Amino acid sequence: MNNKDYTRLSIELHLFFDRIMKEHSLFIEASAVDNEIKNIANNFKNIFDDILNKIVDLSDNGITNNYLKANIIVTDNTLAAEEITSTLTNINILKNTTIKELQLKSGSKNININDIAKINEQTLLIVEDLIKFKQNILDKVLKGETYTFSYPLLIDHMIEEAKMYHDLLLKVQNKETVLSNFVFEQDMFWNTIMKEHAMFLRGLLDPTEQKLINEANNYAIIYNNIINNTDLSKLTSESIIRTDMFKKFNEEIYKGITDNKIKSIILPLLVDHMTREANYFLKILNNYNSL
| Domain at 167, CATH number | 1.20.1260.120
Q: Which of 143, 178, 213 is the last residue of a domain?
A: 178
The predicted structure's pLDDT at residue 290: 43
Digit-by-digit pLDDT tens for the chain (291 residues) are: 788 889 999 999 999 999 999 999 999 999 999 999 999 999 999 999 999 999 999 999 989 999 999 999 999 999 999 999 999 999 999 999 999 999 999 988 889 999 999 999 999 999 999 999 999 999 999 999 999 999 999 999 999 999 999 999 999 999 987 666 677 888 899 999 999 999 999 999 999 999 999 999 999 999 999 999 866 667 788 899 999 999 999 999 999 999 999 999 999 999 999 999 999 999 998 876 543
- Mark whether 185 and 229 lie in a shared domain: yes
- Mark whether 229 and 152 lie in a shared domain: no
Q: Is the dihedral of CA 144, 271, 94, 73 positive or negative?
A: positive
- Mark whether 138 and 245 lie in a shared domain: no
Report d(CA 15, CA 13) in Å as an integer.
6
- Mark whether 55 and 172 lie in a shared domain: yes
Residue 34's CB is within 10 A of a number of other CB atoms, namely: 15
- Mark whether 106 and 174 lie in a shared domain: yes
- Mark whether 82 and 118 lie in a shared domain: yes
Q: How many domains are contained in the chain?
A: 2
- Mark whether 169 and 186 lie in a shared domain: no
- Mark whether 258 and 144 lie in a shared domain: no
Q: How far is CA 159 from CA 90, 131, 136, 203, 226, in A?
A: 25, 6, 10, 20, 23
The predicted structure's pLDDT at residue 272: 98
The predicted structure's pLDDT at residue 194: 98
Q: Give the domain extent around 189.
A: 180-291
Is the Cβ–Cβ distance between 148 and 33 less than 8 Å?
Answer: yes
Q: Which of 135, 163, 178 is the last residue of a domain?
A: 178
The predicted structure's pLDDT at residue 289: 52
The predicted structure's pLDDT at residue 277: 98
Tell me the three-class secondary structure of the chain, residue by residue: CCHHHHHHHHHHHHHHHHHHHHHHHHHHHHHECCHHHHHHHHHHHHHHHHHHHHHHHHHCCCECHHHHCCCCCCCCCHHHHHHHHHHHHCCCCCCHHHHHHHCCCECCCCCCHHHHHHHHHHHHHHHHHHHHHHHHHHHHHHCCCCCECCCHHHHHHHHHHHHHHHHHHHHHHCCCCCCCCHHHHHHHHHHHHHHHHHHHHHHHECCCCHHHHHHHHHHHHHHHHHHCCCCHHHHHHHHHHHHHHHHHHHHHHHHHHHCCCCCECCCHHHHHHHHHHHHHHHHHHHHHHCC
- Mark whether 166 and 210 lie in a shared domain: no
- Mark whether 215 and 151 lie in a shared domain: no
- Mark whether 128 and 261 lie in a shared domain: no
- Mark whether 113 and 246 lie in a shared domain: no
The predicted structure's pLDDT at residue 131: 98
Q: Which of 178, 197, 215 is the last residue of a domain?
A: 178
Residue closest to 283 by CA, chosen among 101, 72, 11: 72
* 176 half-sphere exposure, CB direction, 13 A CA radius: 12
Is the Cβ–Cβ distance between 131 and 166 less than 8 Å?
Answer: yes
